[in-house]
Structure 1
Amino acid sequence: SILALKKHTHFSKHIFYLIVLIFPSYSSSSCFPQEKEMKMSRHISTGPSSFIPENEIIGAMPLSDSTVMFLDEEFSGRMDNLTQLMGLHPHYLQAFLRCHYYLLRMDGPLPHHYRHYIAIMAAARHQCSALVCQHVQEFEQIGVCSDWLRGLEFCPQRLRNLNEINKILAHRPWLITKQHIQALVKTGEHSWSLAELVHAVVLLAHFHALASFVFGSGVNPDLEVTEVNGVTDDLCPPAMAGLCTCHLTNSNQANGNPVCNPDTGSELEALMERMKRLLEEREDDDASEEEMFTRFEKEKKESLLVVSAGFDEEVVPPSPVARFVDDPSFGYQDFARHGEDNPPTFKAQDYSWEDHGFSLVNRLYSDIGHLLDDKFRTACDLTYYNMASHEGVDTSMLRRALFNYVHCMYGIRYDDYDYGEVNQLLECSLKVYIKTVTCYPERTTRRMYESYWHQFRHSEKVHVNLLLMEARMQAELLYALRAITHYMT
């Protein structure tokens, strides 16, 4: 039995808790107490999020026994702020924890200290001190190679060779080619195997996307991390908020976009009406393939108008995690830039996650494909059939618009999707928020978070951030895995 295995001295607690997460039935009342509750890591003044009132998060999580047991083991009876926010959607949280835990703890191509260092490198690209601090602490607890925490110049050349693919994946993944892959796997004594590289790429994409969720949801740094001594204390002073003060623009109302800042009383009803109308129009719309492509190109070009005002792209603000960043001036640029030869559109039918990426990543890094696929599907399929005060609503159209808009900004097109729906469903203040959270999350502000969907619950906005996070991660993986495929063939 599972309990008998757990008592065996050679049975890893990590394996035991992953089994329980993957097979929740093992946590039946005969094995574990049903009344177990998690103690929350409380911030007296701010709570887990600087955007969401604490009383709307604390105690709002009907977690399964298996998830509670796992969190109790990993967090010593406490839950960090990030987990509390995700816990507003317990079904997703369980899928996330399976994948996150497997990447960092279970058997895989990379040693454990490499995994946490790669997490640090990825999070630092977006100045996400909360994630950097967490994994600096994890790295310290392993107790090896502590000099690496002094900065990139102190880590092995093999890890420094990831700098190029790290910055491209984080900011312009469409630029990744098979030459980047070749440079990593054919570098003599510093070379990476394809299995190691896939593990590293998944980690990079995972933590880039996780930084988007942290900033998009206003996740506060954990006091338990920021108050430790040593290197972590140097990087993460407790008072550091990690948010910027840029402002919304009202300049992107052209080209048929919905008007910014609509009357909050009619915002929800107007959105519901547009969804109803689009459903009716779908039945009569027999647009040609050329027309569908034109609608995609229109939306892609209009995304250029979605900007955050008051931010000088040439100025790189100082950051306490800068020691882990190479080429800090390299940042996001629009996929479709005015007056330039742009990269060709990534056609999803030519290289999709379902038909291509999943099998490749699963072949080179056993089982991670299944865990990623479950996480993607859970975020996209998650629904309570509610929209604010309305019940019994099919939100699939809205969820797909959010996911596909992110991929559109990254130059990925689905030929079976009508991109004209994006303009009808996503008001411009929401587009500003999506682009900021996805492309340069460190600029996200509370004002941006509060600027859209005024009548919606905070849990619904957290769901938006889950969709944005997964859409971004999948986009990065598609470009990276396509480049690996081209290298292999």
Structure 2
Amino acid sequence: MIVAGSDCRSSCSCAGLKDYFPGENCGTLRNNEDRGIKIPRQLGRGPSSFIPVEEILKEGAESAPRRLFIEAFVSTGRVDNIIIVLGLHPEYLSCFWKTQYLLLRMDGPLPYHKRHYIAIMAAARHQCSYLVGFHMGEFLQAGGDPEWLQGLHCAPQKLRNLNEINKILAHRPWLITKEHIEALLKTGENSWSLAELIQALVLLTHYHSLASFVFGCGVNPEIDQEGGHAFWPPSPRSCDSSPASDDGVNSSNGKDAMQEVEVLMERMKLLQECQLEEEGVTQEEMETRFELEKTESLLVAPSVDIAEHTLPPNVLCFVEDPEFSYKDFMRRGEQAPPTFRAQDYTWEDHGYSLINRLYPDVGQLLDKKFQVVYNLTYNTIAMHHGVDTSMLRRAIWNYVHCVFGIRYDDYDYGEVNQLLELSLKIYIKTVDCYPERATKRMYTRFWRHFKHSEKVHINLLLLEARMQAALLYALRAITRYMT
């Protein structure tokens, strides 16, 4: 979709049709139907199947800096649907765009076509045909060999050697060891340099996490991608095909949704008061609360009635060992891997310094991106203004790290259960651990009275918390190899 919504002044849900009928508006379409002309309707509903296009317009896409949309268009020939959804948060979009541009299009250790191939490998692990299809096109434009796109078995052995660390990073990053790093760096003629490997690891974690965002926000394919250029049969006289209940808040549950907001506000207030009054909690108690939250996370999973998706051939061909998937960090009756104590290997003191030494420009951009999303706030919650949301943001970030086995000694994990309702936990764990199973129903069931931009904000936290967690495991393994 080309700059969809960026220059559209209508909040009509037919705004997305302007890509297909330039110069037409809702009134024109209705008049044509009145004259007996049957108008086909676009199959997609704009950039996201979860977020009505008029909400994207109303909640911020029009206010996003046009410079960012123009830069995207000039450099890639399009403003894709991911960028449009990210336009709800311009400050973050700026950091995201600079980072992705540097990873894919600026000087670096890896040739450009191999960067896109690594992106394909990463996205395929989560069955993200949106990203796989996009980067197949970019791979060819960068001069890549079309034969490689027949499947991973057709790629050079050096790239195929990334498969093991790709699948571990995507699903169980705590299993990465210095031996995995050594195997890549010491494989004769197919060995990786340390600089190449760092760029590859950043690309892998970036696209694993971006797949989470795509599924978590229901991002639609562009009209020139498979599944994007299609139409409903000729429409009835209404140009709004969205059911009233799609936003998850209607007359039957609006009161309950409002109550959820007030309960969350009250819990935040009580926790803030307790923090002021409570004397220091012992480290033993803090560790116990973490272990309890980690154990309870075993019960958080998508509904068992979610159908398994059959991998399309153009995705399956890039996946070896497709049965390998997320497995709870600690399962009943099993010996759990040792908990990653965040203080022993922090991003600020260890991960950032290592990556900044080996890949300096991207290290600085990643650091800024993490900081921007962690601190991003408009001091609002639903209809409330002037709210300090730092406690809620930290609970979400730390819960993501918890399900990946990372513990912060100075954080009380009792706050997670107080602030994150079960439906939100299910959504968080699904989006970050098995995003291909995320559904619109999950998206609509949590925080039903919140704005879509606030739910997108949640997805930004999930994207970056997941990426940082995987990078910490990978960089720790590199550090152990180097020492």
Question: Could you state the TM-score of these two structures normalised by the residue count of structure 2?
Answer: 0.84
Q: Deviations over 1:41-91 (max 9, x none)?
A: 758341110001111113632233542431231243x42111111110011
Aligned to 2:51: 52
SS in 2 for 1:48: coil
Q: Deviations over 1:421-449 (max 9, x none)?
A: 00000000000000000000000000000
Structure 1 window deviating more from structure 2 (178-187 vs 53-62): it is 53-62
For 2:466, the aligned partner's letter is: R
- Does the CA contact (< 8 Å) of 1:379 and 1:467 recur in 2? yes
Aligned to 1:116: 116
* Aligned pair partner of 2:283 in 289, 293, 314: 289
Q: Does 2:137 align with 1:143?
A: no
Paired with 1:94 and 1:237, the residues of 2 have a C-alpha distance of 26
SS in 1 for 2:410: coil
Deviation for aligned residue 1:264: 1.6
Deviation for aligned residue 1:237: 7.6
Aligned to 1:163: 163
SS in 2 for 1:144: coil
Aligned to 1:278: 271
Paired with 2:145 and 2:364, the residues of 1 have a C-alpha distance of 32
Paired with 1:71 and 1:309, the residues of 2 have a C-alpha distance of 38
Paired with 1:88 and 1:65, the residues of 2 have a C-alpha distance of 13
- Does the CA contact (< 8 Å) of 2:286 and 2:409 recur in 1? yes
Q: Does 2:365 align with 1:366?
A: no
- Does the CA contact (< 8 Å) of 1:99 and 1:372 recur in 2? yes
SS in 2 for 1:476: helix
Deviation for aligned residue 1:362: 1.1
Q: Does 2:275 align with 1:269?
A: no
Q: Does 2:82 align with 1:69?
A: no
For 1:268, the aligned partner's letter is: V
Paired with 2:138 and 2:150, the residues of 1 have a C-alpha distance of 15
Alignment of 1:9-408 (within 5 A): 42=19, 44=42, 45-58=44-57, 60-61=60-61, 62-76=63-77, 78-226=78-226, 263-285=256-278, 286-310=280-304, 317-320=310-313, 321-408=315-402
CA separation of 1:316/1:384 partners in 2, compared to 1, >3 Å: closer, same or farther? closer
* Aligned pair partner of 1:423 in 410, 417, 421: 417
- Does the CA contact (< 8 Å) of 1:58 and 1:84 recur in 2? no
For 2:137, the aligned partner's letter is: Q
Displacement over 4 Å in runs of 4+: 36-43, 236-240
- Does the CA contact (< 8 Å) of 1:347 and 1:412 recur in 2? yes
Question: Could you state the TM-score of these two structures normalised by the residue count of structure 1?
Answer: 0.83
CA separation of 1:425/1:482 partners in 2, compared to 1, >3 Å: closer, same or farther? same
- Does the CA contact (< 8 Å) of 1:308 and 1:436 recur in 2? yes
Aligned to 1:11: none
CA separation of 1:345/1:119 partners in 2, compared to 1, >3 Å: closer, same or farther? same
For 1:64, the aligned partner's letter is: P
Deviation for aligned residue 1:483: 0.3
Paired with 2:260 and 2:212, the residues of 1 have a C-alpha distance of 26
Deviation for aligned residue 1:213: 0.2
- Does the CA contact (< 8 Å) of 1:137 and 1:225 recur in 2? no
CA separation of 1:106/1:475 partners in 2, compared to 1, >3 Å: closer, same or farther? same
Q: Which runs of 5+ in 1 are unaligned?
A: 1-35, 227-235, 241-260
Deviation for aligned residue 1:169: 0.2
Aligned to 1:28: none
SS in 2 for 1:220: coil
Q: Does 2:405 align with 1:411?
A: yes
CA separation of 1:202/1:308 partners in 2, compared to 1, >3 Å: closer, same or farther? same
For 1:104, the aligned partner's letter is: L
Paired with 1:337 and 1:437, the residues of 2 have a C-alpha distance of 20
Deviation for aligned residue 1:307: 1.2
Deviation for aligned residue 1:318: 3.1
Q: Deviations over 1:453-475 (max 9, x none)?
A: 01100000000000000000000
Deviation for aligned residue 1:391: 0.4
Q: Deviations over 1:81-113 (max 9, x none)?
A: 111111100110000000000000001110001
Aligned to 1:23: none
SS in 2 for 1:357: helix
For 2:406, the aligned partner's letter is: I
CA separation of 1:421/1:138 partners in 2, compared to 1, >3 Å: closer, same or farther? same
CA separation of 1:198/1:451 partners in 2, compared to 1, >3 Å: closer, same or farther? same
Aligned to 1:230: none
Paired with 1:470 and 1:38, the residues of 2 have a C-alpha distance of 29
Paired with 1:144 and 1:64, the residues of 2 have a C-alpha distance of 33
Paired with 2:147 and 2:195, the residues of 1 have a C-alpha distance of 27
- Does the CA contact (< 8 Å) of 2:148 and 2:154 recur in 1? yes
Deviation for aligned residue 1:119: 0.1
For 1:482, the aligned partner's letter is: R
Aligned to 1:440: 434
Paired with 1:266 and 1:180, the residues of 2 have a C-alpha distance of 50
For 2:52, the aligned partner's letter is: P
Q: How many positions carry a matched residue from both structures?
A: 423
Paired with 2:220 and 2:65, the residues of 1 have a C-alpha distance of 25
Paired with 1:69 and 1:405, the residues of 2 have a C-alpha distance of 36
SS in 2 for 1:210: helix
Q: Deviations over 1:468-487 (max 9, x none)?
A: 00000000000000000000
Aligned to 1:244: none
Q: Deviations over 1:385-423 (max 9, x none)?
A: 000000000000000000000000001011111100000
CA separation of 1:342/1:393 partners in 2, compared to 1, >3 Å: closer, same or farther? same
Paired with 1:461 and 1:168, the residues of 2 have a C-alpha distance of 28
CA separation of 1:276/1:297 partners in 2, compared to 1, >3 Å: closer, same or farther? same
Q: Sequence identity of aligned pairs in percent? A: 61
Paired with 2:230 and 2:224, the residues of 1 have a C-alpha distance of 13
Deviation for aligned residue 1:37: 5.6
Deviation for aligned residue 1:317: 3.0
- Does the CA contact (< 8 Å) of 1:126 and 1:211 recur in 2? yes
Structure 1 window deviating more from structure 2 (475-484 vs 54-63): it is 54-63
